[in-house]
A and B are shown apart, each in its own frame.
Chain A
Amino acid sequence: MPVHDVVIVGGGGAGLRAAIAVAEENPDLSVAIVSKVFPMRSHTVAAEGGAAAVIKDNDSLEDHFRDTISGSDWLADQDAVEEFVREAPSEMIQLEHWGCPWSREPDGKVAVRPFGGMKIERTWFAADKTGFHMLHTLYQTSLKYDNVTPYDEWFVTNILVENGRCQGVTALELRTGKTEVIAAKAVIICTGGAGRIFPFTTNGAIKTGDGMALAYRAGVGLKDMEFVQYHPTGLPGTGILITEAARGEGGILVNKEGYRYLEDYDLGKPLDVTHPDHPVKKSMELGPRDRLSQAFIKEVEKGRTFIDELGHYVHLDVRHLGQKKIDKKIPFVRELASKYAGIDPVYHPIPVRPVVHYCMGGIDTDKEGATTLPGLFAAGEAACVSINGANRLGSNSLTELLVFGARSGRGAAKFAIEHPDLDMSSLEKQALDEQSRITKNFICKQKGSERIANLRQEMTQSMESGAGIYRSESSLKETCNKLAELRDRFSNILIEDRSLTFNTELTSALELDFMIEVARSLAHSALERRESRGSHQRTDHVNRDDQNFLKHSLALQTEEGPKIGYKEVVITSWPPEERVYGR
């Protein structure tokens, strides 16, 4: 049985950053990155616009703090945000030192661009493939450390708890079909979000909330799961992301009447695109994502959106930027729109609509990435520290995975050194149990009639209709019931593939199992939050209710389903106020 000091589940941005942090912290520690895909396939790769950190003289940590807090609708923990904004610049510079090809000013300094909800431009970018460049830089840099062992294409099925602390994971090696224990003195979950529980998402196929479900099953709470970010500009049909940078560079949103409809939703007054002050920060198209996505739904209700066989959409117009700027600043937007929407944004507006993008919620952790289960840490989208609260500010997530990836790496390293002993024989036994569970329930499963794809589709449809941009008591109850039904029907799934070699029917089933778990925690958390805040909008409770709900929800797994509790929000310096944009 392989034994490592620190095992990291997930090889995306957060996982790689954590691995490097451990490796640098102490070269004698052995680190394993266990990922169900090769690390460079991780979904960090698809992030486009950029990563926020204060570097310019006209900016300040205080401004970054305030933008983040008001963006979060005061649900972020302010102590965490303070540390986040303070460590962000050095983390970003570190990545620069590792070779990340940041776009530059003529004088050779790193360039920044404005993003939604920001008072001052502070988004570092590598054209519009920031996540791609960050991920590859981190991955390639991680290859330098001989004490980092990759377990590429190993699917983690369970977190092992012995003696009240996490002591490793069981993982299925895809190429052999064998389930093994990977013992660890500390484990960090960096598996990303769960966008795939929705039908229409920018997220890749691998984002099935595995790590959230693993931690949840191990008894750790899932925090603020009801907050799901819709990105306002995805391509209809495919959900492919058109980065916020398109608006940061000056792109505008118009409805079918050619009207910049955002001005009707308390987001400020539009300036002409030729005006030198356009785009105005924290106003109109540079409002926060939750408000823009909500405005879209209102436009649909007013009948002012375009509609075709792919559904409703509005136009994102960047034509006035001109070909040169488009090719230099947002070339990927042009590539994606041309390939997948069949239109060249230099000459035509891009059809867009809101699409599920990011889970603000996740595994409940403290500022060091530690969970309530000793030895278990989490970072990145899978975790909820929380710095994102009810609505994440665009370009904070890439920075988050660096800052908290590194912190959880250091935390886990420390924990591993302090807790060197492992209950090897008990772990061995758990491995056998897990192997037989997977063999019995999946690989050798007889009978069964439910197709995986059907269950998955019913789940995603139910999430969209009941827990989408706007929710209500009745819609959420319906979704909760549906998910409970799916939970039961899951035991009757049909598995046809008996192979031990790269059995993707098996992994699809395991992923669906995880997704249903995460979806239930989400729907129940949403049901219990009887207010509207940030991305969580209740048609039956339209106002923010600080009296009762200025707190984090916390979903715990029980026999009967999720049990929702609450946890105080940390407010250090800025008590809740009205959230103002464009005024």
Chain B
Amino acid sequence: MKPYVREYPNTWWLSRRPYFLFMVREFTAVFVAAYCVFLIYFVYKLSQGPDAYYGVIELLRSPLSIILHIIAFIFAIYHSITWFNLTPKIFILRFGEEQVPPFLISGANFIAWVVVSAIVAWIILVV
């Protein structure tokens, strides 16, 4: 007798919270990419001289820009957190029989994140 093959709904990612959170995680890439496209535009305008540059700066001051930034930022943060939390799955360090606890590895990532962010901010805003 022929076995029954169930259909797997395209909405599977709505069926359970972990699946939904996975999809959100994957979707963060869209916001990150959109921001990168903006960066391309930014650099292009920068290369066009002061007038073009200040036009972008004006744009950045618009409420719409600020709102979009905030939304994108939330997703970007979600990306960073999930990314760092998953690294211990990939990098397993062992000393003899003992495995370095995962939280130390993700912890190191989070510290690196803070440091990099501070340096970037310092270079752009201060130096």
By a beta-carbon cutoff of 8 Å, the part of chain A in contact with chain B is 176, 500-501
Q: Which residues of the partner chain A approach B1 to less than 8 Å between Cβ atoms?
A: 176, 500-501
Q: Which residues of the partner chain B approach A176 to less than 8 Å between Cβ atoms?
A: 1
Tell me the smallest distance from the CB of A326 to a CB of chain B, in Å: 16
| A interface secondary structure, majority | loop
Tell me the smallest distance from the CB of A152 to a CB of chain B, in Å: 15
Tell me the smallest distance from the CB of A172 to a CB of chain B, in Å: 15
Complex CA–CA separation, A500 to B2 (angstroms): 12
By a beta-carbon cutoff of 8 Å, the part of chain B in contact with chain A is 1
Complex CA–CA separation, A263 to B38 (angstroms): 82
Tell me the smallest distance from the CB of A102 to a CB of chain B, in Å: 15
Q: Which residue of B lies closest to A176 (CB)?
A: B1
Tell me the smallest distance from the CB of B123 to a CB of chain A, in Å: 48
Tell me the smallest distance from the CB of B97 to a CB of chain A, in Å: 9
Q: Which residue of A lies closest to B1 (CB)?
A: A501
Tell me the smallest distance from the CB of A504 to a CB of chain B, in Å: 15
3 shortest A-B CB distances, which residue pairs?
A: A501-B1, A500-B1, A176-B1
Complex CA–CA separation, A176 to B1 (angstroms): 7
Complex CA–CA separation, A289 to B1 (angstroms): 48
Tell me the smallest distance from the CB of B2 to a CB of chain A, in Å: 10
Q: Which residues of the partner chain B approach A501 to less than 8 Å between Cβ atoms?
A: 1
Complex CA–CA separation, A500 to B1 (angstroms): 8
Q: Which residues of the partner chain B approach A500 to less than 8 Å between Cβ atoms?
A: 1
Tell me the smallest distance from the CB of B102 to a CB of chain A, in Å: 17
Q: Which residue of B lies closest to A499 (CB)?
A: B1
What are 3 A-B interface contacts by the 8 Å CB criterion? A176-B1, A500-B1, A501-B1
Complex CA–CA separation, A288 to B1 (angstroms): 51
Q: Which residue of B lies closest to A177 (CB)?
A: B1
Tell me the smallest distance from the CB of A89 to a CB of chain B, in Å: 26
Tell me the smallest distance from the CB of A153 to a CB of chain B, in Å: 13
Q: Which residue of A lies closest to B96 (CB)?
A: A106
Tell me the smallest distance from the CB of A248 to a CB of chain B, in Å: 21
Complex CA–CA separation, A501 to B2 (angstroms): 10
Tell me the smallest distance from the CB of B96 to a CB of chain A, in Å: 10
Complex CA–CA separation, A176 to B3 (angstroms): 11
Complex CA–CA separation, A18 to B18 (angstroms): 45
Tell me the smallest distance from the CB of B4 to a CB of chain A, in Å: 11
